Amino acid sequence: MQINNDIYQTYGHDWWAEDAVFDICSLRYCMNPVRYGYFKRRLQEQHLPGQSVLDVGCGGGFLAEEFARGGFDVTGIDPADRSLEAARKHASDNNLEIDYRAGKGEALPFSDGSFDIVACCDVLEHVDDLSLVISEVARTLKAGGVFCYDTVNRTWLSKVALIKISQDWGFTSWSQPNVHVWEKFIKPAELIAVMSRYGLVNQELRGISSRKNPLALLASLRALKKGRLSNQEIAAAFAVCESKDLKISYMGYAIRSSSV
Ligand X SMILES: C[S@@+](CC[C@H](N)C(=O)[O-])C[C@H]1O[C@@H](n2cnc3c(N)ncnc32)[C@H](O)[C@@H]1O
Q: Which residues bind ligand X (CB under 6 A)?
A: 5, 8, 27, 56-59, 62-63, 78-80, 83, 104-106, 121-123, 126-128
Cβ proximity to ligand X, 126 vs 142, nearer residue: 126
Cβ proximity to ligand X, 94 vs 144, nearer residue: 94
**What's the closest the beta carbon of residue 137 comes to ligand X, in angstroms?**
11
**What's the closest the beta carbon of residue 11 comes to ligand X, in angstroms?**
8
User: What is the C-alpha to C-alpha distance for residues 160 and 34, in angstroms, rounded to an integer?
Assistant: 22
Cβ proximity to ligand X, 104 vs 139, nearer residue: 104
Phi and psi (nearest 5°) for 57?
Answer: 75, 50
**What's the closest the beta carbon of residue 34 comes to ligand X, in angstroms?**
11
**What's the closest the beta carbon of residue 76 comes to ligand X, in angstroms?**
9
Cβ proximity to ligand X, 83 vs 220, nearer residue: 83
Q: Which residue is nearest to ligand X (CB)?
A: 59
Three-state SS string over the chain comes to CCCCCCHHHHCCHHHHCCCCCHHHHHHHHHHHHHHHHHHHHHHHHCCCCCCEEEEECCCCCHHHHHHHHCCCEEEEEECCHHHHHHHHHHHHHCCCCEEEEECCCCCCCCCCCCEEEEEEECCCCCCCCHHHHHHHHHHHEEEEEEEEEEEECCCHHHHHHHHHHHHHCCCCCCCCCCCCCHHHCCCHHHHHHHHHHCCEEEEEEEEEEECCCHHHHHHHHHHHHCCCCCHHHHHHHHCEEEECCCCCEEEEEEEECCCC
Cβ proximity to ligand X, 17 vs 219, nearer residue: 17
Contact 218, 177 (CB under 8 A): no
**What's the closest the beta carbon of residue 79 comes to ligand X, in angstroms?**
5
**What's the closest the beta carbon of residue 41 comes to ligand X, in angstroms?**
18
**What's the closest the beta carbon of residue 119 comes to ligand X, in angstroms?**
8
Cβ proximity to ligand X, 106 vs 242, nearer residue: 106
Q: How large is the greatest C-alpha to C-alpha distance in the chain, in angstroms?
A: 55
Cβ proximity to ligand X, 101 vs 223, nearer residue: 101
